[in-house]
Each structure stands twice: as C-alpha cells, then as structure tokens.
C-alpha cells in the first residue's frame, strides 16, 4: 500500500485541492483509493459527499480522531489530507507511515516563513531517503518574480519543485461537484493537466 501525505502547517495553501486531485488521479489509474481527512474541518470528506455516483470511486474516513493511517483491507493507495499546524507527535506518526510527502506552498513571505519552521522539523524527523518529498507551488505564475523567490527558497532546502499550479476558478468549480481534473474531458482542462504532468509522473514512480 502506498501512502501519500499532503501537509503544510499554514492554513489555506491548497492542501485539500492537492489531496483531492491526487486521489482523483490515482482513481482514474484504476487504483483502490482512500482519501483520509485528518483535519477537523473535514474538507476532503465534505468534498467526497458531493462526488457523483458515476465518478470513479474514492473511499473516505475521518482520520482526525487519532487512527490516522489504518485503512481497510484492499486499499492500494492512501491519500492523507492533514490539518494546519501539524507538528510534534502527529507529524512523527505521519512521517513514519508515509511513502511520499507533498507540500503545497504559496509564494508569499508568510507562507514561506511558516513552512520554513515546518521543513526544519521535517528534516529532523524524516526517515532515511525512503521518504520522497515534493513541493507544489500553488496559485502562482511561474514567470513572475514571486515564483522566482519561491524557487530560490525551495532550492536552498534542496527539495524538488514538482510543479507550479496557476490560480484558476477551475479547481473551485470542479470541487463544488465533487470532481477533479481527472474526472472531466481532458479538452476542458488541458492547461491544468499539463501543469499536473510532473506530479503524476512523481506519483507513478
């Protein structure tokens, strides 16, 4: 079973957007996917309640009570959407089970400062090189100065930037229907799917 964790201590950076679309991609690939929500707000769980029955199945469970990574038998892939402020014992437990860690990060000084402390703790707690870490720039134009500053910050930490995802209403409109980029006709979301290609390749490795 593969466990993909989406984490950042800063709220509002797009963790649920990344987590739901990762789950949608894996479901489209034919995997048995469970989307766990360790956030008390249960954003991912609420999103799944909107998912139409004809969409590829994704199972959910409330992981906010402590049994964070105990999915039922038959699950091949777990995607865990984590709460803001994840640290200490909770972070240690997540990293102990995780195979891949995705860190959504926006190009603002506040997000960078908040995430720097998280990454420092992460470096202390991470397992050996078996844990793969990737950063996803959120709501950013890769051609801007903000993107350059974000890239320089991440490169200073020796972590890979998998992709930069543009700011668009597409994610909001799809989420309102319980859908992802991978549930609709590719022609409708061609530009966004192109930005997701390196993330998908990373997930498939």
Q: E strands of 46-99, at which residues?
A: 59-62, 77-81
Amino acid 67: pLDDT: 53
Total domains in the chain come to: 1
Q: Is the pLDDT of residue 94 over 80?
A: no
Q: What is the CATH number of the domain that holds 54?
A: 3.40.50.300
Q: Which domain holds residue 67?
A: 2-204
Cβ atoms of residues 82 and 39 within 8 Å: yes
Amino acid 140: pLDDT: 81
Amino acid 165: pLDDT: 93
Q: Is the pLDDT of residue 33 over 60?
A: yes
Amino acid 23: pLDDT: 97
| Cα gap 15→79, rounded to integer Å | 11
| Residue 65 pLDDT level (bands cut at 50, 70, 90) | low
Q: Give 149: exposed, middle or buried? Use CB within 10 Å, 0-12, 13-18, 19+.
A: middle
What is the rounded average pLDDT of the residues 171-190?
97
């Amino acid at each position: 079973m593969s466990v993909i964790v989406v984490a950042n201590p800063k709220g509002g950076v797009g963790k649920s957007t990344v987590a739901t679309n990762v789950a949608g991609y894996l479901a489209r690939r034919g995997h048995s996917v469970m989307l766990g929500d360790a956030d008390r707000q249960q954003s991912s769980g609420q999103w799944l309640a909107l998912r139409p029955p004809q969409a590829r199945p994704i199972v959910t469970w409330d992981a906010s009570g402590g049994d964070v990574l105990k999915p039922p038998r038959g699950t091949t892939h777990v995607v865990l959407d984590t709460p803001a402020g994840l640290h200490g014992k909770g972070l240690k437990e997540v990293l102990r089970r995780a195979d891949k860690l995705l860190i959504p990060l926006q190009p603002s000084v506040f997000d960078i400062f908040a995430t720097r402390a998280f990454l420092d703790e992460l470096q202390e707690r991470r397992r050996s090189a078996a844990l793969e870490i990737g950063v996803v720039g959120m709501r950013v134009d890769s051609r801007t100065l903000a993107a350059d500053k974000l890239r320089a910050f991440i490169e200073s930490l020796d972590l890979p930037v998998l992709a930069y995802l543009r700011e668009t209403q597409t994610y909001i409109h799809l989420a309102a229907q319980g859908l992802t980029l991978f549930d609709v006709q590719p022609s409708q979301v061609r530009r966004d799917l192109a930005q997701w290609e390196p993330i998908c390749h990373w997930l498939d490795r």
